[in-house]
């Protein structure tokens, strides 16, 4: 018995040394980009482009690794120790969370790159079945009797939070006529009434949602593969991708009268790149997203480039014209929006818990 226990401990020690040897091997020429769900195709192309550029510039061969998942889940993984050199997530709040909870990057990360660190933007549109049998044209059509809406869970999905905020903003815009009134104390009473209407609308909207998926890709599959629902509130790029991959004869995109300007940000994770010795490469990787070549790739994958002039004209033509408002204007930035709407005990919790009443 003693011998066996001794043997067991010995094996554990041997095994322990084997596994600890593994990850310390030189990682200098590797870069890990931790991203959200719908960017898979975009970064596949961009990584090839950047590797070529870096090879030309420094004569180094590099390997860029990707990880994809729901934006909030990915931020959580980085906080728990996923060794990201660069994060490219769905919304600023998730990178704020990394900064706040793990101090891996400074709080002012968003001002370190152009356009709030967002090299591309997107918006929220509707995907409906071919012929638009339920005649959906705008946000208010989503709450008509008998319409089933697909959107992921705002608690876990970045895209779903944009969806929710877009719906809210639509009502505010409809009620107030001008969104400029929101930050003007003169109209405080009017704004309050509009907010009550917005809350009632969003609450009604979630009564039309039969399943809440955890991420944008899962929700797409629910709508497209499992054929559940009449309308799918989606990232613009995700809607285009679904149509291209699965057939123009099955779905069409509907652009609502007004939607939100979504700015998915990118950031270098300072502490990780210092530890890996990859700072130069990581910073170049983020900066190069604003280059001509990258902006062209961005438009090709249906993200709206911040420099449209760099993109191919034919790619730009595919984007419908959408009237967009920003999260700063209607919600006073991500921190406020998160706290008021999505934190535990926030408005989303309240409307979702009472949705069956």
Which residue in the set 179, 187, 204, 218 belongs to the binding site for other proteins (CB under 8 A)? Answer: 218
Tell me the closest approach of the beta carbon of residue 306 to other proteins, in angstroms.
26
Per CB under 8 A, which region of 59-67, 178-186, 282-290, 294-302 contacts other proteins? 59-67
Binding track, positions 6-25, relative to other proteins; x by CB under 8 A: --x--x---x---xx-xxx-
The span of 66-74, 137-145, 165-173, 199-207 binding other proteins (CB under 8 A) equals 66-74
CB of 338 to other proteins, least distance (A): 21
Q: Which of 42, 68, 156, 264 binds other proteins (CB under 8 A)?
A: 68
Q: Per the structure block, which two tokens stand in for 127?
A: 């995907």
Taking CB under 8 A as the criterion, the residue among 29, 51, 62, 77 binding other proteins is 77
Q: Which stretch binds other proteins (CB under 8 A): 80-88, 138-146, 170-178, 257-265?
A: 80-88
Work out whether 83 is an interface residue with other proteins (CB under 8 A). yes
Q: Does 332 bind other proteins (CB under 8 A)?
A: no
> Which one, 65 or 174, has the nearer CB to other proteins?
65
Stated length of the chain: 357
Pairwise CA distance, residues 305 & 322, whole Å: 15
Nearer to other proteins, 169 or 215 (CB): 215
SS3 per-residue string spanning the chain:
CHHHHHHHHHHHHHHHHHHHHHHHCCCCCEEEEEEEHHHHHHHHHHHHHHHHHHHHHHCCCCEEEEEEECHHHHHHHHHCCCCCCEEECCCHHHHHHHHHHHCCCCCCHHHHCHHHHCCEEEEEEEEEECCCCCCCCCHHHHHCCCCCEECCCCCCCHHHHHHHHHHHHHHHHHHHCCHHHHHCHHHHHHHHHHHHHHHHHHHHHHCCCCCCCCCHHHHHHHHHCCCCCCEEEEEHHHHHHHHHHHCCCCEEEECCCCEEEECCCEEECHHHHHHHCCHHHHHHHHHHHHCHHHHHHHHHCCCEECCHHHCCHHHHHCCCCCCEECHHHHHCCHHHHHHHHHCCCCHHHHHHHCCCC
Dmax over Cα atoms in the chain, in whole Å?
83
Min. distance of Cβ 74 from other proteins in angstroms? Answer: 9
* Stretch of 64-72, 116-124, 142-150, 332-340 lying at the interface with other proteins (CB under 8 A): 64-72
Q: Measured from the CB of residue 300, what is the shortest distance to other proteins in angstroms?
A: 17
Q: Of 3-11, 90-98, 138-146, 291-299, which segment contacts other proteins by CB under 8 A?
A: 3-11
Q: Per CB under 8 A, does 246 bind other proteins?
A: yes
Q: Which is nearer to other proteins, 29 or 147 (CB)?
A: 29
Number of residues in contact with other proteins under rule CB under 8 A: 35
The DSSP bridge pattern shows strands 251-254 and 120-129 to be antiparallel
Give the interface with other proteins as residue ranges (CB under 8 A): 1, 4, 8, 11, 15, 19-20, 22-24, 32, 37, 40-41, 65-69, 77, 79-83, 101-102, 217-218, 221, 241-242, 245-246, 275
């Amino acid at each position: 018995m003693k011998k066996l226990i001794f043997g067991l401990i010995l094996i554990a020690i041997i095994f322990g040394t084997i596994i600890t040897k593994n990850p310390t091997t030189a990682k200098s020429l590797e870069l890990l980009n931790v991203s959200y769900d719908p960017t898979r195709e975009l970064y596949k192309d961009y990584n090839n482009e950047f590797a070529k550029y870096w090879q030309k510039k420094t004569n180094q061969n590099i390997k860029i690794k990707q990880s994809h998942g729901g934006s909030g889940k990915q931020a959580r993984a980085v906080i728990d120790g996923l060794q990201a050199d660069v994060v490219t997530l769905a919304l600023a709040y998730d990178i704020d969370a990394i900064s706040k909870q793990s101090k891996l990057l400074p709080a002012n990360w968003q001002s370190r790159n152009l356009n709030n660190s967002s090299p591309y933007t997107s918006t929220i549109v509707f995907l409906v079945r071919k012929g638009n049998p339920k005649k959906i044209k705008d946000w208010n059509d989503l709450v008509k009797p008998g319409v089933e809406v697909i959107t992921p869970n705002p608690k876990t999905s970045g895209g779903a939070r944009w969806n929710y905020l877009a719906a809210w903003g639509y009502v505010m815009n409809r009620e107030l006529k001008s969104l400029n009134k929101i930050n003007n104390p003169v109209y405080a009473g009017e704004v309050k009434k509009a907010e009550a209407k917005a809350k009632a609308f969003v609450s009604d909207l979630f009564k039309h949602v039969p399943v809440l998926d955890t991420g944008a890709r899962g929700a797409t599959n629910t709508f497209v593969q499992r054929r559940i629902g009449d309308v799918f509130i989606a990232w613009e790029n995700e809607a285009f991708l679904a149509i291209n991959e699965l057939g123009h004869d099955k779905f069409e995109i509907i652009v609502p009268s007004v939607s939100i300007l979504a700015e998915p940000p990118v950031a270098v994770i300072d502490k990780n790149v210092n530890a890996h010795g990859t700072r130069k490469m990581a910073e170049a990787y983020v900066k190069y997203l604003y280059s001509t070549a990258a902006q062209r790739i961005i438009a090709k994958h249906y993200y709206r480039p911040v420099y449209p002039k760099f993109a191919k004209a034919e790619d730009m033509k595919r984007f419908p014209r959408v009237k967009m408002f920003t999260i700063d204007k209607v919600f006073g930035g991500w921190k406020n929006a998160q706290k008021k709407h999505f934190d535990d005990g926030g408005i989303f919790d309240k409307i979702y818990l009472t949705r069956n009443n």
